[in-house]
């Protein structure tokens, strides 16, 4: 009965999350939004039916729904990778394609092991290739190293630029800037981004300061944003909040967290965390999701004058960082405070 109580608690959680996802799916009419959510709904329904099967002690049905869950997860995994690959080729960002290779390898490995049960033991000895080096490991280590180096480099540059800007503006004064104009920052087939201009006043004279990044949304006229200006030369000013350095920090952190996930996964396979009382991998993934979700919201919040404007600028996409925060928080608490 103790095991059944665990299945019941998982069932309640799965039903709640699945209900929320289905409600969001029917509430929004955006086709892309619906496509993105379908794999998550498949996973949610699979977890519900799997736990019902476990409660009823129907092991065959439970195994079937477990594989259905894996299929839903892989649908999202490969769908995302296809989108990244298409976008990278279209934009000629071939470095992104290089980053995606470890994720393709991981996805194919999940398919082989989880759906077809193929592993090293099932391959006849006479068909195994005897190499002095495991090239899969060498290539994976090489690619993950690149991801980590790029991530750490972006972090260092972003933090260094943020510190430099903070040092320059430490004696600046703060005033209100009002949005008054914009110009096209970048235009392509995927849409248009804008460079926003704000006007601020010092001793009766008006000055302009612009964002050093592109944004996909235009704020309302006269929206307020804090401006820091040099009292000795009011023309020198910066917008308080998000800037290009913050984006470097965010993407650097994103790549670093992704690279470390593979490193921890390899250590987990080697049994490095077997003696730990907590689920190290689960905790790390929970914290990573939490950090990414909060980071997305903070970066967007830094481009707006209020939290309400932040929500408006994100639109229905606000659900993505919110889901990251909710899932990451639940995962972290579960792995830290629930026995393995």
pLDDT at 127 over 50: no
pTM, two decimal places: 0.62
pLDDT at 70 over 70: yes
User: What is the per-residue DSSP string for 247-305?
Assistant: HHHHHHHHHHHHHHHHHHHHHHHTTTTTT-SS-HHHHHHHHHHHHHHHHHHHHHHTTSS
What are the tens digits of pLDDT across the range 207-243? 999 988 888 778 888 888 899 999 999 999 998 888 8
pLDDT for the residue 189? 63
Whether 251 contacts 154, CB under 8 Å: yes
What are the tens digits of pLDDT across the range 15-40? 887 887 787 777 766 677 677 778 88
Average pLDDT, the chain: 81
- Least confident range from 110-114, 179-183, 233-237, 325-329: namely 110-114
């Amino acid at each position: 009965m103790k095991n059944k109580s665990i299945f019941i608690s998982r069932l309640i959680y799965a039903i709640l999350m699945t209900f929320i996802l289905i409600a969001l799916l029917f509430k929004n009419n955006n086709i892309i939004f619906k496509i993105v959510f379908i794999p998550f709904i498949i996973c949610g329904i699979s977890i519900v039916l799997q736990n019902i099967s476990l409660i009823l002690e129907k092991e065959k049905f439970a195994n079937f729904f477990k594989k259905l869950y894996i299929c839903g997860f892989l649908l999202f995994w490969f769908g995302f990778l296809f989108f990244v690959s298409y976008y990278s080729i279209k934009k000629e960002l071939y470095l992104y394609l290089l980053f995606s290779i470890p994720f393709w390898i991981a996805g194919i490995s999940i398919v082989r092991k989880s759906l077809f049960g193929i592993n090293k033991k099932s391959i006849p000895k006479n068909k195994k290739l005897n190499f002095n080096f495991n090239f899969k490991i060498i290539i994976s280590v090489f690619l993950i190293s690149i991801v980590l180096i790029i991530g750490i480099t972006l972090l260092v540059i972003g933090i260094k630029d943020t510190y430099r800007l903070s040092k320059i503006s430490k004696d600046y004064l703060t005033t209100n800037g009002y949005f008054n104009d914009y110009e096209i920052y970048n235009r392509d087939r995927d849409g248009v981004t804008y460079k926003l201009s704000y006007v601020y006043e010092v001793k009766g004279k008006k000055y302009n300061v612009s964002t050093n990044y592109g944004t996909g949304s235009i704020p309302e006229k006269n929206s307020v944003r804090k401006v820091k200006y040099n009292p000795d030369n009011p023309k020198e000013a910066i917008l308080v909040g998000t800037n290009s350095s913050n984006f470097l920090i965010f993407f650097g952190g994103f790549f670093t967290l992704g690279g470390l996930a593979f490193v921890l996964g390899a250590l987990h396979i080697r049994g490095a965390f077997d003696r730990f009382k907590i689920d190290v991998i689960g905790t790390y993934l929970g914290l990573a999701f939490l950090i990414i979700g909060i980071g997305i919201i903070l970066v967007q919040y830094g481009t707006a004058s209020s939290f309400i404007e932040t929500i408006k600028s994100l639109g229905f996409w606000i659900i993505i960082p919110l889901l990251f925060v909710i899932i990451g928080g639940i995962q972290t608490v579960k792995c830290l405070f629930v026995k393995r």
